[in-house]
Amino acid sequence: MKPLYTTIAKESQAEIIEKRSRFIATVKPVKTEEEALAFLAELRQKYWNATHNVYAYIIEENNIMRYSDDGEPGGTAGLPVLDMLKKEGLTNLIVVVTRYFGGVLLGTGGLVHAYSKSAKAGVLAAGLVDMILCRKITLSCEYTLLGKLQNLLANYPGVIQEEAEYTDKASLPLFLPEGDADAFCASVTDKMNAQVEIFSGDTLYHGKPRILP
């Protein structure tokens, strides 16, 4: 499993107009090709009267990349959308750009520009998220040690903390990048004089929104 990949945060949509043609980019995070194709079928039904429903998707598992010009001149629609996704380093998503022809021909260069621009607008509307391979770790301690432990955690910027649980002890669930987890646990044990119980859980991807410039 890769330590990190970048995808979109949510399903979203954006629209642009180029020489009276409407380009509607609809984007969605997906994890399998089956999910991507089901979403494509849904949009084809929704926009059944559109001139074209161009698409491109990238799936991390098995490194799947697919695209279609859907009737536009070869290489002017689906491929520019796919190239934009690759350039931005995105995966596990599908982009469908629906076009309603406005009566003015755009030419080869104009189509490439319009489809790329529309797809990029859809991605930006959805927002980007870095999916970090993390290990779930829960720290449990007596309440008298909670303040010291919280101060210690503040020195680890890579820690993603979840909501604490308070019962007979304080339990702090958090996520650590997998590559840092063992060293982190050893450090906590040392600095807390082995007075903190450490429970190591599953390894999974945890999303961290990317702040766009």
149-204 residue pLDDT tens? 999 998 887 888 889 999 999 999 999 999 999 999 999 999 999 999 999 999 99
Kind of pairing, strands 170-177 and 128-141? antiparallel
The 3-state DSSP class for residue 165 equals strand
Write out pLDDT tens, residues 39-55. 999 999 999 999 999 99
Closest by CA position to 124, among listed 17, 45, 52, 211: 211
Domains and CATH numbers, the chain: 4-126 (3.30.230.30), 132-209 (3.30.70.240)
Considering the entire predicted model, what is its pTM?
A: 0.84
